[in-house]
Amino acid sequence: MMLLSCPHCGPRDESEFTCGGTTHIVRPPPDSSDAQWGAYLFFRDNPKGVLRERWRHTYGCGQWFNVARHTVTHEVLSVYAMTEAPP
Amino acid sequence: MIVGGGGHGLAAAYYLAKNHGIRNVAVLERGWLGGGNTGRNTTVVRSNYLYPESARLYDFSLRLYEQLTHELNFNVMLSQRGHVMLAHSRHDLETQSRWVNTLRMHGVDSVLLTRAEVGALVPALDLSPAARFPVLGGLRQPRAGIARHDAVAWGYARAASALGVDIIQDCEVTGFAFGAGGAVSGVATRRGPIRAGRVGIAAAGHSSVLAGLAGVRLPVTSYALQAMVTEPLKPRLDTVVISPATGVYVSQSDKGEMVIGGSLDLFASYAQRGSFAVMQSVIAGTLEMFPSFSRLKLMRQWAGIVDVVHDSSPIIGPTPVPGLYINCGWGTGGFKAIPVGGWTLAHVLATGRSHELAEPFQLERFITGRLIDEAAAAGIAH
């Protein structure tokens, strides 16, 4: 069981959380090409290594937050607010 | 050259040699044959997919499976014991009525079952009206079933090898070499460089990593999908059963073990192990269906890394890099597709043109928006 630290509630079991996938996705301008829209909608970083993703403490405070996590070890390297720049 | 010595890669090598007479083929495998998802699935084969493109693709695969033991002279132990998807609500029943008609129009064998028929077929199932997810009926594909996963890999490997294909294990690809016009000219491996005019990647959950070495970005996210088996017991379940409410599916192996699968671990992962939280919910779902399994001990639990794309449909064809082809995106359903995945990857590698079965399943669909959103792919909402 992964232990995630909600910035609001502290360390809780992974089963209290929902993963929202890759974070820091920037919406392209309205006049973007099909390729840019496709990239925005469907193409995600899928590193075998550190991934920055968003999680929600669904069965707790309900807050969204960002996590930098290693996709092989599942080690959580940092937890930071939704509006913060990646560390 | 094929990168990936699992079912899809080995099948592609075999069909390159057999269908196209191309025998100067190498299959490179980072670990050992069939040690990735080919050895980590729940061995279910079926073709009851909703859209015509998918039904054609997967039914072709099932037809190849039906011939495979004879074709490869290797017993893949295909057991067409059928597959039952339970209906738990009036809405499930209505959806299944639509599915059964659609599937029959696609030529895929498909039958609606009443609650009593489900009970006769699966006596171990909890049919009481007080069940947490009461059973009201079901959708059955009689030709579906299970096969021996290792035998599929070994059978293709032996047959490909007999036709002259080189299979190199413990040979991880670490980069690509490029020639004129940016076309692939070979690969770098831990055991040295190898030249090749055309390279096909069949690496499931590691597709993004390999394609990334060639500068190709894929619409894939890798997740762990876990499965588990109980201690063996006497014959108790002679079909595959899936509950769309819990996402759990169960079959009994020829050795007598109950083989149990369920939901993905819903966060990106390259760790070939499942999280305990998901295992717990999968077991809970299993016991909702089969209360009598509650005292069985789990023998083993494992996970494979699956390549999930937005529309749950595969990608089989060229990449933006000339000479580099890919077979990926099968997500949670790659085992059943091994024959057709190999067949169509071999076709595009040999001819430079996509096989007609694979034409709808190209990478461009994520730009054009022509997705094949295969809701029936997993049978459950991942």
| pLDDT at A87 (0 to 100) | 84
Banded pLDDT at B324 (limits 50, 70, 90): very high
B49 CA: distance to closest CA in chain A (Å): 22
Chain mean pLDDT for chain B: 96
Residue A1 has pLDDT above 90, yes or no: no
Model confidence over A3-46: pLDDT tens digits?
A: 999 999 999 999 999 999 999 999 999 999 999 999 999 999 99
Cβ within 8 Å of residue B350, ≥6 positions away: B16, B19, B20, B22
Cβ within 8 Å of residue B187, ≥6 positions away: B1, B3, B28, B173, B175, B176, B177, B193, B194, B196, B199
- Among A2, A18, A43, select the one facing B219 at the smallest CB separation: A43
The three-point CA angle B342-B345-B346 to 5° equals: 80
Residue B319 has pLDDT above 70, yes or no: yes
Do A74 and B208 count as a contact with CB atoms less than 8 A apart?
no
Model confidence over B229-239: pLDDT tens digits?
A: 999 999 999 99
Model confidence over B81-134: pLDDT tens digits?
A: 999 999 999 999 999 999 999 999 999 999 999 999 999 999 999 999 999 999
* Mean pLDDT, residues B203-232 taken together: 97
Q: Which residue of B has its CA nearest to A42?
A: B219
Q: What is the DSSP letter of A38?
A: H
* Mean pLDDT, residues B258-282 taken together: 93
Do A72 and B271 count as a contact with CB atoms less than 8 A apart?
yes
Q: Which of B201, B267, B365, B373 to mutate to test the interface with A (most CBs of A within 10 A)?
A: B267
CB hemisphere CA count around B106 (13 angstroms) = 24
Instruction: Quote the CA–CA distance of B118 and B143 in Å, as a whole number.
Output: 16
Residue B313 has pLDDT above 90, yes or no: yes
One-letter amino acid at B15 equals Y
Token couple for B60: 């072709």
Cβ within 8 Å of residue A12, ≥6 positions away: A3, A4, A5, A6, A57, A60
Model confidence over B23-80: pLDDT tens digits?
A: 999 999 999 999 999 999 999 999 999 999 999 999 999 999 999 999 999 999 999 9
Instruction: Quote the CA–CA distance of B265 and B301 in Å, as a whole number.
Output: 14
- Which residues of B are less than 8 Å from A39 in CB distance? 217
* Mean pLDDT, residues B274-301 taken together: 95
Decide if B336 contacts B47 (C-beta within 8 A). yes
Do A14 and B271 count as a contact with CB atoms less than 8 A apart?
no
Residue B382 has pLDDT above 60, yes or no: no
Do B219 and A42 count as a contact with CB atoms less than 8 A apart?
yes
Model confidence over B341-379: pLDDT tens digits?
A: 999 999 999 999 999 999 999 999 999 999 999 876 656
Query: A-contacting residues of B 244-283, CB under 8 Å?
Result: 266-271, 275-277, 280
B331: left (phi over 0), alpha (psi -120 to 50) or beta: left
A/B interface, count of CB pairs below 8 Å = 67
**DSSP secondary structure string, B149-193?**
HHHHHHHHHHHHHHTT-EEE-S--EEEEEE-GGG-EEEEEETTEE
